[in-house]
Structure 1
Amino acid sequence: MKTWKIIVLAAIVVVIDQITKFIVVSTMQIQQQIVVIPNFFSLFFIRNTGAAFSLFEGAQWFFYLTTVIALCLFVYFIKEIGDLNIWTGIGLGMAVGGMFGNFIDRLLFGSVVDFFKFVFGGYNFAIFNVADIGLTVGIGLVVIGLIVSEMKKKKTVAE
């Protein structure tokens, strides 16, 4: 996958993330809940100063530093490998878009807008946003892409 396509995908993730966050911030009050599917899915507006499950809450310097390091690693990874397989390319685009989406929130507001809330049985899952989806799915796809690449290499060497 070409680098420009990865950048476009990252930009799409950022735009969708920022639009959804804008809608939530402009239409809901903090800690307001809108039940979409009872006992399963709600929109619940919070501002998170931490990571998933509020880990590292208030440690903004940590998030700035890790985001810059991760983005540098992704840029190096893209330049070093060049043309990536589709899984790795889509994964990198989604992950970079997710990082930028949350990074924008942290820079502008000192916190991240989260609003997707799921309940499984009696368990409340972490409240998250579109950027978090991009990060999580993206990293999973990068792993799949790297595994596929290694399997192809091994198959080529074996032949």
Structure 2
Amino acid sequence: MPENRSARDTGRSVRPYGWMLVLAATVLLADQASKLWAVSALSDGRNIPVIPGLIELRLLLNSGAAFSIGEGVTWVFTLTTAAAVAGILYTGRRLRSPAWAVVLGGLLGGATSHLLDRLFRPPGFAQGHVVDFIGYGGLFVGNVADIALTLSCALLLLLTLRGIPLGAAVAKEGQPSS
């Protein structure tokens, strides 16, 4: 009879992957809920100052990428984002590091939310516009997913510079990492 071994018995941890998925779902839900609010509350063209001169809420439907770059090739962003989501899900299977679970969870949640916008928002399937509504001092307009993506990229850079691999477990004080 084959032996039924748990992930703990084999030395593999499935927890970081699960936390990655929980964080991704949280980012996705927060972003989509805030976009739903923005479309309903800001469609009349009004701006709501949050911190005058620095942050305002205003609706912008973005067919391009950051700073509205590539507005005529929305389908390219749709395919690229779908590939990124698939890549993150595949790569996440090797996770053992809680810090990398945060990175990949934030990236996955933000990318998935943008992918859903591209797939299901007007003007049509795979041509949809991303809902942006947080204006930053007239420089650019973003959303909650963009915040998650930016913070995740900053943490990714930090972990990379520190040489922490995806499969590295973070050592607790007094214990060696595996």
Q: Same fold (TM over 0.5)?
A: yes
**Offset of residue 100 of structure 1:** 0.8
Q: 1:95 to 1:30 in 2, by over 3 A?
A: farther
Q: Which runs of 5+ in 2 are unaligned?
A: 1-14, 122-127, 169-178
CA distance in 2, matches of 1:113, 1:58: 17
* 1:130 positional shift: 0.4
The whole-number CA distance in structure 2 between the counterparts of 1:61 and 1:30 is 28
Matching of residue 113 in structure 1 with residue 127 in structure 2: no
Structure with higher RCO (Cα < 8 A, 6+ apart): 1
Give the alignment of 1:2-81 within 5 angstroms.
2-29=16-43, 31-79=45-93, 81=94
Whether the aligned pair in 2 keeps the contact of 1:44 and 1:117 (CA below 8 Å) is yes
Counterpart selection for 1:95 from 107, 111, 122 = 107
Task: Supply the distance in 2 between the matched residues of 1:141 and 1:87 (Cα, whole angstroms).
Answer: 8
Matching residue's letter, 2:82 = V
TM-score (norm 2): 0.75
In the aligned structure 1, how far is the partner of 2:113 from the partner of 2:38? 15
Aligned equivalents of 2:33, 2:77: Cα separation in 1: 22
Which one-letter code corresponds to 1:106 in the other structure? R
Distance of 1:137 and 1:24 partners within structure 2: 22
The alpha carbon displacement at 1:108 in A equals: 1.2
Number of matched pairs:
145
Distance 1:46 1:73, change over 3 A: same
Structure with more helix by fraction: 1
Which amino acid is 2:134 matched to?
Answer: F
Tell me how far apart the structure 1 counterparts of residues 77 and 54 of structure 2 sit (CA, whole Å): 30
Indicate the SS of the match to 1:2.
helix
8 Å CA contact 2:82, 2:115 repeated in 1: no
Distance (whole Å) between structure 1 residues aligned to residue 148 and residue 86 of structure 2: 18
For the aligned residue pairs, the C-alpha RMSD in angstroms reads 1.7
- Is the partner of 2:48 in helix, strand or coil? strand
Larger Rg: 2
Which of 132, 147, 154 is equivalent to 1:140? 154
Overall identity of the aligned pairs, in %: 34
Structure 1 alignment gaps of length 5 or more: 153-159
